[in-house]
Amino acid sequence: MNFLFEKVIKLPRVSLAITPTPLESMPNLTKVLCGPNLFVKRDDLTGLALGGNKARQLEFYLGDAQDQGSDVILTTGAVQSNFVRTVAAAAAKLGIDCHVQLEERVSSVDEVYRNSGNVLLDRLLGATLHLYQKGGNEEDADQALQLIASHLRSHGKSPYIVSLSLGHPPLGALGYIVCAQEILEQTQKLSIPIEEIICASGSSSTHAGLVFGLRMLNSNIKVIGVCVRRSAKLQSPRVFNRCIEIAEFLGIDLPVTLDDILTVDCTLFPGYGRLNKMTVEALKLSASLEGLILDPVYTGKVMASLINRVREKIYSNNSNILFLHTGGQPGLFAYEPELRLALDS
């Protein structure tokens, strides 16, 4: 075993995700697009509260929380945040309280968006919800979270804050260092030489952890991060800075260079949590051809970018490309009115 990888897995950690997740081919989508061989890493099947990539990330956060003797988990995210939903589920599984701050990041939403999907699950999982109106500013949201934490401490609680912004221990990214090892083992066993992995790039924990893990494990597989919240110009330095944080946290030399950080933003318009025609097409094609359910905010936009890259002939026909399915399906139901109109047209 790589001695640096061994250093990661010896950190405090709890078991939340069902792993390894399957790595499957997408033969029908491959045939229709007349492009490279397409595969999917099914991290939507991690199991915890309908699955998704957040379960891998939270194993290290919750391990650290238990190590510190915390009795409340506190985090912040968008109203339809998959991370918030998974934090609530992890807290429930471990028998501790959970407070979540829901940020207003998407404008002009209806009551379906505010009450269905992940919000419904947050309530069902027993989380205490706090609403925050200024959803576009990470620093302000973190400050508001600190106020909630102070209130909890004044009532004798010991809260553990899970923050996804830069400047905090990058524990979530460690889950995707572990996933990088898993992918390498699976592709070797299946004799599939993967040239590129394409994934969502938002908080950057998944993207940075994956590229960091691959380079740490001496793999040169490209990782393309599809921007879901900010432009590629802003996202690339964020991912690189996260990689620097990982190296500093582990006390090792940085195995990643700026050239390793690849981001695209062709499917971001009109912004975070907003649908576009390319994403609707990706949702329809994935479901109707592969029985693969994606979400409008993250994986739908990643698949839309993958389809666009195939159509632009970026890949040779004998390439093997891996789509990282990070889950998020509960959020699909929050977009029912808009999706119904798009599917009927």
Given the DSSP bridges, would you call strands 37-42 and 23-25 parallel, antiparallel or unpaired?
antiparallel
Residue 2: pLDDT over 80:
no
- DSSP codes of every residue in 27-58: HHHHHHHTSSEEEEEEGGGS-GGG--THHHHH
Residues forming the active site: 81
Which tens digits make up the pLDDT trace of 12-31? 999 999 999 999 999 999 99
pLDDT higher than threshold 90 for residue 122: yes
The two beta strands, 320-325 and 262-264, are unpaired
Q: What is the pLDDT of residues 291-344, one digit of tens each?
A: 999 999 999 999 999 999 999 999 999 999 999 999 999 999 999 999 999 988
> Does residue 192 surpass a pLDDT of 70?
yes
What pLDDT shows up at residue 345?
79
Task: Give Cα 38 distance to the centre of its chain.
Answer: 20
- pLDDT tens-place string over residues 246-274: 999 999 999 999 999 999 999 999 999 99
Q: What are 226-244's pLDDT values in tens digits?
A: 999 999 999 999 999 999 9
Q: What pLDDT was estimated at residue 113?
A: 96
How far is the CA of 318 from the CAs of 69, 78, 134, 314, in angstroms?
A: 52, 39, 47, 12
Q: Please, what are the domains in the chain?
A: 3-53+169-344 (3.40.50.1100), 54-162 (3.40.50.1100)
- pTM (2 d.p.): 0.96
- Tokens representing residue 70 in the block: 């915390």
Residue 205's pLDDT is what?
Answer: 96
DSSP H helices in 95-204: 111-115, 117-124, 138-154, 171-190
Whole-number pLDDT of residue 164: 78
